[in-house]
């Protein structure tokens, strides 16, 4: 729903155990006007949605998270200074380890299990 509106995912690189996407943000997207008006930040649920969409692209099917074992938001994403995040995803057999990175700064770490969205 937010993909190709709030953000666009562009594959960057893949290795045996990891795929990376650039998540290009539309920094003028209306969500930033309300979250928060004087100091906009990207809502954490949007960062999780970016990772979910990246896993879906990797798997070739829509997925949903079954269980989030670890989710650490380590820094805010300010659209006034950041217009792109790097998503690093290692997924296999329904388990994912992922992070969202702004330059050298990790903004989110995730460990979760997932399944097809329609199961």
Query: What pLDDT does 112 receive?
Result: 98
d(CA 3, CA 70): 24
Give pTM, 2 decimals. Answer: 0.94
Question: Computed over its alpha carbons, how large is the radius of gyration of the chain?
Answer: 14
Query: What pLDDT does 87 receive?
Result: 98
Q: Where are the domains of the chain?
A: 7-116
d(CA 68, CA 111): 6
d(CA 56, CA 64): 9
Best CATH choice for the domain 7-116 from the list 3.10.129.10, 2.60.40.10, 3.40.50.620, 3.40.50.2000: 3.10.129.10
Instruction: Measure CA of the first residue to CA of the last residue in the chain; give whole Å.
Output: 20
- pLDDT means per 10 residues, the chain with 119 residues, are 93 90 97 92 97 95 97 97 97 96 97 91
């Amino acid at each position: 729903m937010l993909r190709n509106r709030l953000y666009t995912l562009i594959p960057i690189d893949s290795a045996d155990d990891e795929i990376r996407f650039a998540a290009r943000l539309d920094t003028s997207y209306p969500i930033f006007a309300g979250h928060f008006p004087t100091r906009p930040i990207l809502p954490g649920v949007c960062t999780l949605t970016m990772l979910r969409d990246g896993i879906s692209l990797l798997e070739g099917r829509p997925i949903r998270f079954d269980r989030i074992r670890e989710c650490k938001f380590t820094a805010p994403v300010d659209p006034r200074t950041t217009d792109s995040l790097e998503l690093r995803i290692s997924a296999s057999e329904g388990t994912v380890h992922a992070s969202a990175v702004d330059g050298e700064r990790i903004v989110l770490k995730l460990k979760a299990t997932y399944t097809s969205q329609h199961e």
